[in-house]
Structure 1
C-alpha cells in the first residue's frame, strides 16, 4: 500500500470510519406507508394471477427452460454413461480378441515347429539314404577299379615274366645269371 507523505494525511481506515459516521448521522429515513405503495400495484381480488397473460407466459417459459435444462443434464449424463459402457465393452472385446490371437499364434507356432521337425526328419533320412547309396556305389566303383588294376598289373607282370622266360630260353641259362 502506498502511504501518503506527511503526518497529517488520514489513512483509508480513518477516512472510511469518518464517512460512515457522517452518513449515518446526517439523514434519517422518511416515514412512508409501504403497504400502500405495494397495494397500489397489486392485482385486484377478482382476477387471479394465472389469468394474467404475461405472468402465465413467464411461468410457462420458466417451466420449459427448467425442463430443457433437466433434459440436457440427463442427456449429458446418459451420453457419458453410454461412452463409458462403450469404452468398457470395446476394452473387453479387445482383450478377448488379444487372448484369441495369442492362442491362435501359439497353435500356429506349434504346428509350424511340428511340420519343421517332420520335414527335417524326412530330409535327414533322404540325405542319409542318398549318402549311403552314393558311398556304396563309389566303393563298388573303387573296388572294380582296384580289381581291374590288379588284373592289368597281373597281366603286365605275366607278360613281363613270359618275355623274361623267352629271353632266358633263347639266351641260355648262363646269361641270365650274369645279368643279376
Structure 2
C-alpha cells in the first residue's frame, strides 16, 4: 500500500513539474524531466508549439450555404407522385364543391343506385316515393307490432317473476308468523303454569297458616276452659268445706 501511495505521489509531482515547464519553460525543470516518458511528452509539446507558430489563418471560402439544404429537398420533390399530388388534391376539391353546389344525391333502391342532381328526380320518382312511403309505413307498423309483442312478452315474464317472488315472500312471512305464534303460545302456557303453581302454593300456605291459627285459638280456648273448670272445682270444694264446718 505504501509503495502505491509513493508511486501516486511521484506521478503527481512529475505532472506538476511538466505543467510548470509548459507554462514557464524553466531550465531547472528540464533537468528534473530526465525520464524517457517525460522526454517523449516534451518532444510532443515542442512539435505542437512549432506547428502553432508556423500556421497561418485562412479566410473562409465563399460558398452558397442555402444550396446545401435545398438540393436534398428538390431531389426529393422531383418524384412523379409529388408532382401530381397538388393537382389531384385541387381536382378532388373542385369535384366536391361541384357536388355540393349541384345538390347531387345518391340513393340506394331495390333496382340499384340512383344519382340525381337538385330536385329533378322529384317528378320522375313521385310514384316510387309514394310506394317507398307506404313501404316505410308498413315497415314501421310491423316494427311497432314486433316491438309491442316483445314488450308484452317481457312484461308478462316480469309479472310472472314478481308473482313467484311475492309467493315466496308470503310463504316466508307465514312460516315466520307461525313460528312466532308457537313461541308466544309456549311462553304464555309456561307463564300461566308458573303463575297457577305459585297461586296454589300461596293458597296452600294460607290454608296451613289458617289451620295453625285455628289450632292455636282452640288450644287457648281449651286452656281457658280448663282453668275455668279448675277454678269452679276449687270454688265448689271450698264451699263444701265451709258448709261442713258450719254443720259441725
Q: TM-score, normalised by structure 1?
A: 0.64
* 1:79–1:107 Cα change, 3 Å: same
- Quote the residue 1:99 is aligned against: 175
Q: Deviations 1:10-30 (Å, cap 9, x if unpaired)?
A: xxxxxxxxxxxxxxxxxxxxx
1:54 to 127, 130, 135: 130
Give the match for residue 206 of structure 2: 130
* Whole-Å separation in 2 of the counterparts to 1:153 and 1:53: 144
Change (3 A) 1:87 1:112: same
- Aligned to 2:218, which of 132, 142, 152? 142
User: 1:138-167: per-residue Cα shift (whole Å, max 9, x none)?
Assistant: 111110111101111211122122212211
Structure 2 distance, partners of 1:171, 1:55, is: 168
Distance of 2:125 and 2:138 partners within structure 1:
16
> Which range moves more in the overlay, 56-65 or 124-133?
124-133
Relative contact order, higher structure (CA 8 A, sep 6+): 2
Residue by residue over 1:82-130, the C-alpha shift from the partner in whole angstroms, topping out at 9 and shown as x without a partner, is 2222111111111111111111111111111111122222222222222
Deviation of 1:51 (Å): 8.0
Are 1:116 and 2:221 an aligned pair?
no
Q: Could you list the runs of 5+ residues in structure 2 that have no partner in the other structure?
A: 1-113, 115-120
Which structure has the larger Rg over C-alpha atoms?
2
Aligned to 1:163: 239
Structure 1 runs (4+) deviating above 4 angstroms are 46-51
* Partners of 1:61 and 1:110 in 2: CA distance: 72
Q: As a proportion of its length, which structure holds more strand? A: 2
Aligned residues: 127
Check 1:49–1:165 CA distance in 2 against 1; reply closer, same or farther (3 A cut). Answer: farther
In structure 2, relative to structure 1, the CA distance for the partners of 1:102 and 1:161 (3 Å cut) is: same
Change (3 A) 1:75 1:136: same
> In 2 relative to 1, CA 61–162 (structure 1 residues): closer, same or farther, beyond 3 Å?
same
From 52, 63, 77, give the equivalent of 2:139.
63
Change (3 A) 1:153 1:65: same
* Partner of residue 153 from structure 1, selected from 219, 229, 239: 229
Deviation at 1:49, TM superposition (A): 7.8
Q: Using a 3 Å threshold, how does the CA distance of structure 1 residues 135 and 67 change in structure 2: closer, same or farther?
A: same
Moved more, 61-70 or 154-163: 154-163
